[in-house]
Amino acid sequence: MRPNADEERVKLMDDPNEPKNPDSKSLVDRRDFLGGATALAGASLFGVGSSASGAAAENVQDRMPPIPEDKLTDEQKKAVEALVAGPRKALVGPFIPLLRSPEFMNRLQKTGEYLRYNTKLGSNISEFIILLTARQWTQQFEWDAHEPLALKAGIKPETVKAIAEGRRPNGMTADEEMVYEFCTELRLSQSVSDPVYAQVANRFGEQGVIDIIGLCGYYSLLGMIMNVARTSLASGTTAPLPLFPH
């Protein structure tokens, strides 16, 4: 008989620092995330992604596909222009469904711009957190976009592979180790213990603590949006993350 949700939560909470995994093909997740939600779409005049068929690979329908340019409201056009004028340069991924709420998109993308490009954490730690969060949500678009950035930032390929497989990586740097503990405790315990907090605060400062939490929250929100919207992968793109069995 399948265990109920409370029993599954208890099992996951047995070790707040380590999601248990007997092997790389036997992975644990509490969610049913449709197979893959997401990925890069092509750019048009506004940078708006063209229709993509990656969802077909998972047999799901993109619930909020790109809005045709001739159907955009003035508020939506302004939101697109503001996004494209920034460092992202195109409307792709989570911003395709977010465009349904243009003011929210405008405010959120500014938050994301700070968290991705302007914290003092360093790109290696930022990308490490993004990968951890993308794996948590089985968020295919974010993983596909950020895996090469993480490798470029100096995260070891074996560390990236372990995260993708749902395993605790061996051989992490000291910074990665403490951030892994912090993010894992926050996810599983909805809080962080004093020793883990002190280690991260001493290393990155109180601003760093807030920015790490912000990255976890921001990319969790993007994951929720794209998983609900079933934002599709670009045509011909294979979902990079394996699904966790249930």
In this prediction, residue 192 carries a pLDDT of 97
Q: Is 214 exposed, middle or buried (0-12, 13-18, 19+ CB in 10 A)?
A: middle
CA distance 36 to 16: 26
Model confidence band, residue 232 (pLDDT cutoffs 50, 70, 90): confident
User: Measured between alpha carbons, how far is 65 from 58 in angstroms, rounded to an integer?
Assistant: 16
Percent of the chain's residues with pLDDT above 70: 74
- Predicted confidence at residue 246, as pLDDT, reads 43
- The mean pLDDT value of the chain amounts to 81
Q: From CA 66, how far away is CA 219, in angstroms rounded?
A: 21
Query: Mind listing the pLDDT tens digit for each residue in 130-183?
Result: 999 999 999 999 999 999 999 999 999 999 999 999 999 999 999 999 999 999
Quick one: pLDDT at residue 145? 93
Percent of the chain with pLDDT over 90: 68
Task: Provide the 3-class DSSP secondary structure of residue 55.
Answer: helix
pLDDT at 157: 98
DSSP 3-state of 43: strand
Residue 56 pLDDT > 90: no
Closest C-alpha to 39, from 116, 149, 140, 150: 140
Q: Is the pLDDT of residue 47 over 60?
A: no
Indicate whether 33 pLDDT > 90: no
In DSSP terms, 48 is beta-bridged to 91
What's the pLDDT at 245?
58
Of 31-45, 200-214, 215-229, which gets the smallest average pLDDT?
Answer: 31-45
- Scored b (16 or more CB within 10 A) or e, 133-170 reads bbbbbbbbbbbbbbbebbeeeebbeebbebbbbbbbbe
User: Could you tell me the pTM of the whole model?
Assistant: 0.76
Of the options 1.20.1290, 1.10.3470, 3.30.70, 3.30.450, the CATH number for the domain spanning 120-227:
1.20.1290
* Cβ(70)–Cβ(174) below 8 Å: no
Which one of 5-9, 20-24, 203-207, 240-244 scores highest in mean pLDDT? 203-207
Identify the burial level of 103 via C-beta atoms within 10 angstroms of its C-beta, where 0-12 means exposed, 13-18 middle and 19 or more buried.
exposed
Quick one: average pLDDT of 201-209?
A: 98
Q: Which residue, 53, 146, 66, is CA-closest to 98?
A: 66
Query: What are the start-end ranges of the H helices in 1-156?
Result: 5-13, 74-85, 95-98, 102-117, 123-136, 140-152
Give backbone dihedrals phi and psi of 3, rounded to 5 degrees, phi first: -65, 150
pLDDT tier at 59, thresholds 50, 70, 90 = low
